[in-house]
């Protein structure tokens, strides 16, 4: 099939590499002036992989969408709404209604807490029903041939089956996710738990990661259930299943960022970790749905409000005792 990947950062470039690997005709789009696109055009490489010559590189967004049967979008979650508005302004959005659209981002809209599929519906209308592709794994591992399991979630089972058939391989085993709400919230929120894990590493409290995993999943279970989703989704690949890659891996950007915040070296990062924005978005959801999110709130106070990590962790430990099932 003809696949166009929109976004040529680390993950977008990987998705193009992977789609070609499993037998598709691939176009990779980057915005005009993109340093990533310029590097790929000059060398066919980035710091993670080498693109085959057969993958077409372009900055022509209209052409990238028009020629595709499957459109994979992999851009910064906080730039997503403005990206969709741009599609509408330039008459490109209508073309998406006739394509399979896959979102490969893990984030919630800052300020509103809205899921990215909700942003699609608000900006492009109900005709476009995107699928989300999330789950564990790092580009560095995949390109070395190390397999993993991921999830494709959406509202239409027939579409999911079709995409699993054309994208699945021995490198990535896909599962169907039919709780789109829980999958999106869980995938985004695991980055916040990753920040917390990095903070524990920075404080030499790594032994608390087990408790972090247990209590982190519990608070997200409560949130998803209150939002109308299936709380059990939190224990699947989109959230708990992604903990190893996020809480323990040296490749995890969110874990490394959380550790850097504690050590006072976060300023050295090229960009803020996505979990920082998600922490703020979760605070909006916590207020909207009246759900207590103590771990997420602690992370938010540290990374967004500049609170002292040791003091915030102490406050978390001194909370009123409750049942483990609460």
- Following DSSP, what letter does each residue of 82-151 receive, concatenated? HHHHHHHHTT-HHHHTTSEEEE----B-TTT--BHHHHHHHHH-TT---EEEE-S--HHHHTTT--EEEE
Q: Does domain 181-317 have CATH number 1.10.1040.10?
A: yes
Mean pLDDT calculated for residue range 85-112? 93
- Domain range list for the chain: 2-179, 181-317
Model pLDDT, residue 149: 97
Model pLDDT, residue 272: 84
Mean pLDDT calculated for residue range 253-281? 92
pLDDT surpasses 80 at 58: yes
> Are 51 and 58 spatial neighbours (Cβ–Cβ below 8 Å)?
no
Mean pLDDT calculated for residue range 206-222? 95
130 — phi, psi (to 5°)? Answer: -70, 155
pLDDT in tens, 117-127: 999 999 999 99
Model pLDDT, residue 1: 96
Tell me the pTM: 0.95
pLDDT in tens, 12-53: 999 999 999 999 999 999 999 999 999 999 999 999 999 999
Distance of alpha carbon 247 from the chain centroid: 15
Return the SS3 of 50: strand
pLDDT in tens, 1-15: 999 999 999 999 999
* Annotated active-site residue in 190, 271, 287, 325: 190
Tell me if residue 114 is catalytic: no
Q: What does each C-alpha distance from 75 to 7, 31, 110, 202, 233 come to in angstroms?
A: 5, 11, 15, 29, 24
Model pLDDT, residue 48: 93
Mean pLDDT calculated for residue range 181-208? 96
User: Within 10 Å of residue 211's Cβ, how many Cβ atoms?
Assistant: 12
> Are 241 and 157 spatial neighbours (Cβ–Cβ below 8 Å)?
no
Q: What does each C-alpha distance from 183 to 116, 131, 180, 215, 319 come to in angstroms?
A: 11, 11, 5, 18, 29
pLDDT in tens, 297-310: 999 999 999 999 98
CATH of the domain spanning 2-179, picked from 2.102.10.10, 3.10.20.30, 3.40.50.2300, 3.40.50.720: 3.40.50.720
214 — phi, psi (to 5°)? Answer: -65, -45
Mean pLDDT calculated for residue range 193-213? 95
């Amino acid at each position: 099939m003809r696949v166009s990947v929109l976004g040529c950062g680390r993950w977008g470039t990987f998705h193009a590499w992977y789609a070609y690997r499993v037998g598709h005709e691939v176009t990779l789009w980057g915005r005009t002036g993109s340093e990533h696109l310029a590097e790929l055009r000059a060398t066919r490489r980035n710091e993670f992989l080498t693109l085959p010559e057969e993958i077409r590189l372009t900055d022509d967004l209209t052409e990238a969408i028009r020629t595709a049967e499957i459109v994979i979008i992999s851009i910064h979650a906080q730039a997503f709404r403005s990206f969709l508005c741009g599609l509408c302004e330039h008459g490109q959005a209508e073309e998406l209604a006739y394509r399979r659209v896959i979102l490969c981002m893990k984030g919630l809209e800052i300020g509103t807490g809205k899921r990215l599929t909700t942003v699609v519906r608000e900006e492009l209308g109900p005709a476009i029903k995107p699928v989300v592709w999330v789950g564990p794994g790092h580009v560095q591992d995949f390109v070395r041939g190390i397999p993993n399991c991921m999830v494709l979630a959406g509202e239409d089972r027939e579409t999911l089956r079709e995409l699993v058939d054309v994208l699945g391989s021995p490198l990535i085993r896909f599962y169907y996710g039919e709780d789109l709400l829980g999958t999106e919230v869980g995938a985004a929120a695991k980055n916040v738990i990753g920040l917390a894990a990095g903070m524990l590493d920075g404080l030499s409290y790594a032994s608390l990661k087990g408790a972090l995993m247990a209590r982190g999943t519990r608070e997200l279970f409560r949130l998803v259930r209150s939002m109308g989703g299936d709380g059990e989704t939190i224990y699947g690949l989109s959230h708990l299943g992604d903990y190893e890659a996020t809480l323990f891996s040296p490749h995890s950007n969110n874990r490394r960022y959380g550790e850097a915040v504690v050590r006072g070296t976060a300023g050295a990062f090229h960009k803020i970790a996505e979990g920082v924005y998600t922490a703020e978005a979760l605070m909006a959801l916590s207020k909207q749905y009246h759900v207590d999110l103590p771990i997420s709130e602690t992370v938010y106070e540290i990374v967004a409000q500049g609170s002292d990590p040791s003091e915030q962790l102490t406050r978390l430990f001194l909370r009123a005792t409750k049942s483990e099932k609460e």
